[in-house]
């Protein structure tokens, strides 16, 4: 982990509740494995996908807010550790580039569309997440992504899982 900070993220939802509550959480971990910041919250109604996307978005936006206030994070590499294949693959494989292309192709340049011209779900969060990553790059920071297996006893993954469930319960 030398030379970077890890941002562990997770989302949780309860599709069996009439309220459909969900929670998100993140933990920023330093090079020695110590947790230096955590945050969590939730929403209702929501979906698991929105909560999985909200976790890294909230973390990156909080980091950007720190920078705006004059705090300089060191090191300058953030590795987002997520158990969400959706979030990981979109960011690593740059799915959003294709979505933007199809939006322009179908005459809707500000809308993310798939190859069939259908609207991509949760594009408000996708756009915000991509914007946060780009703003960090502009400020000299690097954001990388790592897919981790959830619910396997990995300490920081378990931590953010518990916090995300806490966020979900807040709205249950």
Q: Which residues contact 13 (CB under 8 A, 6 or more apart)?
A: 20, 21, 22, 23, 46, 47, 48, 51, 168
| Total domains, the chain | 1
User: pTM for this structure?
Assistant: 0.95
What tens digit of pLDDT does each residue of 57-109 get? 999 999 999 999 999 999 999 999 999 999 999 999 999 999 999 999 999 99
What's the CATH code of the domain at 158?
3.30.420.10
Residue 56 inside a domain? The answer is yes
Q: Look at residue 93 and give its three-state secondary structure.
A: helix
Structural domain boundaries enclosing 164: 5-91+142-170
Long-range contacts for 93-100 (Cβ within 8 Å, ≥24 apart)? 96/126, 96/130, 99/123, 99/126
Encode pLDDT of 123-166 as tens digits. 999 999 999 999 999 999 999 999 999 888 899 999 999 999 99
Residue 109 lies in a domain: no
In a domain, 18, yes or no: yes
Residue 132 domain-assigned (yes or no): no
Query: Does a structural domain hold residue 101?
Result: no
């Amino acid at each position: 982990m030398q030379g970077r900070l890890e941002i562990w993220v997770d989302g949780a939802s309860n599709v069996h509740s009439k309220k459909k509550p969900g929670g998100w959480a993140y933990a920023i971990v330093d090079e020695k494995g110590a947790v230096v910041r955590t945050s969590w919250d939730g929403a209702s109604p929501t979906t698991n996908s929105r909560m999985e996307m909200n976790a890294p978005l909230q973390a990156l936006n909080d980091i950007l807010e720190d920078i705006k206030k004059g705090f300089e994070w060191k090191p300058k590499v953030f590795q987002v550790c997520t158990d969400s294949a959706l979030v990981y693959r979109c960011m690593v494989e740059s799915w959003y580039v294709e979505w933007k292309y199809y939006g322009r192709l179908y005459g809707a340049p500000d809308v993310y569309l798939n190859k069939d011209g259908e609207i991509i779900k949760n594009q408000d969060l996708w756009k915000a997440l991509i914007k946060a990553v780009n703003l960090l790059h502009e400020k000299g920071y690097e954001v990388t992504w790592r897919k981790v297996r959830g619910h396997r006893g990995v300490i920081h993954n378990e931590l953010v899982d518990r916090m995300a469930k806490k966020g979900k319960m807040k709205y249950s």
